[in-house]
Chain A
């Protein structure tokens, strides 16, 4: 069995066009300047946009991918032979829809059906010897891609992998969520709050590189995971929270940890009423079962719901924040649901080493939990 570390990462999201600016912005946001941040983001619509001008959707798609992949490769410092060993996983919900919209809505032609153009573009950037694997499981896509790569490295079948999560603005997805009445009208993201009126979408592209050895003391190790299927509904989770609760417990078992070893649960916390309530119920049941609690971190008010890419985005933001000794507070939370007694982290916490369970939920009943740590005592 090999160990699995996140040895490099990069991100472009509403907070910033690269990792450094994203983390600086992430750590600088507070209740006083949050409104100003949102006003900058939501110039056209309540949507967390990447703060950069692009010629068109195609320019945004490919130039962002190129920059994010290039930054991660540079940070990982992989020479050509090592890049040839990279197994590449792409994870997204909307995949190429923004590109299809660009061609169809502007010129009435439908170019680039299928994913060949995306695959070819990435193959030109990275000299990998292996075919790219595209994984789509809705909002758990990047989580599941990470898990697949983790299993392969852990079992010494491969040495290193790159997971690319991406989600770019497109009308089809925005209007689709609007038609399901899942979008917030107030423009205020309030996950787990009784008065939440929906979610706010966002775009982002991020990359994590997984390797079988640690390259820096800041590298987080993946120490366990769990996945399961909630057969309740295509668009919502079972209100009893059972599948999510089982996912939490199975992930802890997989990591050989007890609940008390966790410092944080990074909740999915979409903001939609049903999913909010289901996940909050699962967390409450976990705390009740354990007769204890841990801090709950929610990141979507900072970058929006970035759908299939949210796992890589949120893993990068939180692990980089911990490396800077801070876990930011959950914004906009005021009042819990009836019967829910926990409150998401309500003030920033100073901490330099942590074990975190990241949880993600997707349309179609997909649940995924991944446990990461940078504590030397808990690295397996």
Chain B
């Protein structure tokens, strides 16, 4: 599965109007009555695919931790104040609309899935896509991590950010940035370490939680050890690179990457 393009976007907070301004410079798509979550997803997915030939029928995976958090908060406030819910506010709390808007804006006809989990949701979505690819269910994928800052909801959550970071992958080598050669899940560090001893690699890139555990991971001493997320890993991939993302339960995704 070849990574054709990616776009990483993180910002402390922008409101709907500011995202509409940003989007107007890159799309003619009608942005009226579109929720912030959907604007954010459009911004990332359009940027991730603007310079490539996009398959007309990719599968879209929208990875999210908190889904339409701003929109749900607005509806809850309306319920508390007026006891009414406006139609477009209701539609805004349904994440399934996101894929519809992305399809329309990109001129594609794509099945879409909103995906979440306890953590490592982008890696979880990549795993689902990798399975689809292996099982010949689909051959092209638009995968994005989308979450909006919760600063309007609670001061405690002011550290959260707007995030819309996307990758496009398909089965053709031409013009690709890297190859995802393999993607494995390990339910313990012991299992991960056993596997690491059976493979060779030049670079190894660890996400932030894995960095904390790096003393417990049996890393080949001749490899270059780097730290970052999946986007960093793609940028810094050389032939035979490994990216390891571990969660709080010490369970890991291991992604084998290759440049071409």
Contact = CB atoms under 8 A, between A and B. Distances in A.
B107 to A, nearest CB: 10
B97 A136 contact: no
B94 A152 contact: no
B114 interface: yes
Contact of A364 (B65, B73, B112): B112
Interface string A155-168: 10100000000000
Interface in A82-111: 93, 95, 97, 100-101, 104-105, 110
Interface stretch (A55-63, A169-177, A272-280, A317-325): A169-177
Contacts of A157: 131, 134-135
Contacts of A234: 91, 97, 100
B103 A101 contact: no
Contacts of A130: 185, 187
B52 interface: no
Given A132-B118, A135-B115, A104 B76 contact: yes
Interface stretch (B80-88, B172-180, B195-203, B232-240): B80-88
Contacts of A119: 117-118
Interface string B132-153: 1011010000000000001001
A222 B66 CA distance: 33
A309 to B, nearest CB: 14
Nearest to B98: A364
B19 interface: no
A173 B80 CA distance: 14
Nearest to A308: B96
Given A132-B117, A179-B87, A364-B112, 12 more contacts: A114-B65, A119-B117, A131-B119, A133-B128, A175-B90, A176-B93, A231-B103, A363-B91, A363-B94, A363-B96, A364-B96, A366-B96
Contacts of B116: 114-115, 134, 136
A136 B115 CA distance: 7
B103 A229 contact: yes
B8 to A, nearest CB: 21
A79 B138 CA distance: 35
A133 B100 contact: no
B99 interface: yes
A229 to B, nearest CB: 5
The 9 closest A-B pairs by CB, nearest first: A176-B90, A364-B96, A129-B187, A138-B96, A134-B116, A136-B114, A175-B85, A119-B118, A364-B100
Contacts of A364: 94, 96-100, 112
Contacts of B83: 175
B12 interface: no
B113 A135 contact: yes
B131 A151 contact: yes
Nearest to B60: A229
Contacts of A330: none
B66 A114 contact: yes
A172 B75 contact: yes
B114 A135 contact: yes
Interface of A: 93, 95, 97, 100-101, 104-105, 110, 113-116, 119-120, 123, 129-138, 144, 148, 151-152, 154-155, 157, 171-173, 175-180, 227-229, 231, 234-235, 362-366
A181 to B, nearest CB: 9
Nearest to A181: B87
Given A101-B76, A105-B76, A131-B120, A137 B91 contact: no
Contacts of A179: 84-87, 90
A134 B65 CA distance: 10
20 contacts: A101-B79, A114-B65, A131-B119, A131-B120, A133-B115, A134-B116, A137-B96, A148-B128, A148-B131, A152-B131, A157-B131, A171-B85, A175-B83, A175-B90, A176-B93, A179-B86, A229-B110, A231-B104, A234-B100, A364-B94
A340 to B, nearest CB: 27
A110 B69 CA distance: 11
Interface residues of B, number: 55
Nearest to A158: B131
A95 B65 CA distance: 12
A172 B93 contact: yes
A177 B87 CA distance: 8
B111 interface: yes
Given A172-B79, A176-B85, A231 B100 contact: yes
Given A104-B76, A119-B118, A151-B135, A176 B87 contact: yes
Given A113-B66, A235-B91, A229 B112 contact: yes
A299 to B, nearest CB: 22
Nearest to B93: A172
Given A119-B117, A133-B124, A97 B93 contact: yes
B109 interface: yes
A231 B76 contact: no
B90 A136 contact: no
B222 interface: no
Contacts of B109: 229, 231
A147 B81 CA distance: 41
B84 A95 contact: no
Contact of A151 (B94, B137, B154): B137
B158 interface: no
Contacts of A148: 128, 131
B11 interface: no
A58 B65 CA distance: 21
Contacts of A229: 103, 109-112
Nearest to A128: B187
B168 to A, nearest CB: 17
A176 B86 CA distance: 7
Instruction: Find the residue from B84, B111, B251 having the highest chain A CB count within 10 A.
Output: B111
Contact of B76 (A100, A155, A177, A180): A100
A361 B157 CA distance: 36
